[in-house]
Amino acid sequence: MGDTKELRGDVDADLVRAMDALALIEDMTRHAWMVKRLEKIVKDELHKASLLHSMLNSNPLYPDRKGGKSE
């Protein structure tokens, strides 16, 4: 990865304690544990989006279809 950005916000304390426990099991910091999971989530979601785009590419109802018009 190249550039970095800070991701910050309040989270329920019970959730943070649970994440800390899960990270400890894997001998990771909470931050490293979260980055690993977030990366997997993003990759999975992008894979779904890519499949959706591929499957609907020629469907006239899909606004981003090749040769189609977006409204």
pLDDT at 66: 66
Q: Copy the structure tokens of residue 14.
A: 């019970």
pLDDT at 68: 52
> Which of the two residues, 16 and 62, has the higher pLDDT score?
16
Quick check: 27 pLDDT over 80?
yes
Q: What distances in angstroms separate CA 57 from CA 24, 44, 53, 54, one per listed residue?
A: 44, 20, 6, 5
pLDDT at 38: 97
**Domain segments of the chain: what residues?**
13-56
Q: Tens digits of per-residue pLDDT, 30-69?
A: 999 999 999 999 999 999 999 999 998 888 888 876 655 5
- DSSP for 47-71 reads HHHHHHHHHHTT-TT-TT-TT----
Provide φ and ψ at 32, rounded to 5°: -60, -40
Quick check: 20 pLDDT over 70?
yes
